[in-house]
Amino acid sequence: MLTRREFIRTAALFALAPGILAEREREIWVNDVHSQLNRTRVRELLVPRTRDELAEIVRSASQKGLPISLSGCRHSMGGQQFGTDSICIDTRSLDRVISFDQQRGLIEAEPGIQWPKLIRTYLAAQQEAQSNGVSRKNKPAPTHSRSAGVSRPTCTDAD
């Protein structure tokens, strides 16, 4: 559930969006990291930190009939991450590992997780398992619910 503070933060950000749009100097522009050829104006750039915040943003956008676009590390060069005048959701703060099934070698993670954190978490879990006398030799099979695909080879935590 959203805490009161989280709810107010998200709701306030979202409610302010039309006002922000009205001021030209406050327009929000986003672009991809590599080519910088996809400069796009978005209506709002929101960074949910929990699944509840994300759900609230989606619900609010739906109620207002506003389009949504999703971005991760912005490494794709075709501008797929951005929709003109959309509510752009930066998913990178949704980066928690939810579960790690050691028996099946499956990691479930939030959709904004990046490879470095995923690998670090896996290695830490593997080391812990080994120190408990359990050893796995097969490779991890990370699962993401994100549609960007599971490959983010060029992303770092600093992106």
Which residues make Cβ contacts (< 8 Å) with residue 7, sequence separation at least 6?
Answer: 56
Q: Locate tokens 């794709």: which residue?
A: 76
Structure tokens at 15: 């409610």
Q: Which of residues 48-107 bind ligand FAD (CB under 6 A)?
A: 70-77, 80-81, 91
Q: Quick one: 80 or 102, whose CB is closer to ligand FAD?
A: 80
Q: Which two tokens stand for residue 73?
A: 């590390």
Between strands 28-30 and 40-42, the pairing is: antiparallel
Is residue 153 a contact point for ligand FAD (CB under 6 A)?
yes
Whole-angstrom distance, CA of residue 7 vs CA of residue 57 = 10
Q: Binders of ligand FAD: how many residues, by CB under 6 A?
A: 22
Of all residues in this chain, which one has the CB nearest to ligand FAD in the complex?
Answer: 72
Residue 148 sits in the site that holds ligand FAD (CB under 6 A): yes
Least Å distance, CB 132 to ligand FAD, is 33
**Part of the chain binding ligand FAD (CB under 6 A), chosen from 8-16, 41-49, 57-65, 144-152:** 144-152
Q: Which is closer to ligand FAD, CB of 75 or CB of 136?
A: 75
Per CB under 6 A, does 47 bind ligand FAD?
no
Are 140 and 107 contacting, i.e. CB atoms less than 8 angstroms apart?
yes
Does 112 help bind ligand FAD (rule: CB under 6 A)? Answer: yes
Q: How far is 128 from 131, CA to CA, in rounded Å? A: 5
CA distance 79 to 40: 8
Residues near ligand FAD (CB under 6 A) are: 34, 70-77, 80-81, 91, 111-112, 146-149, 151-154
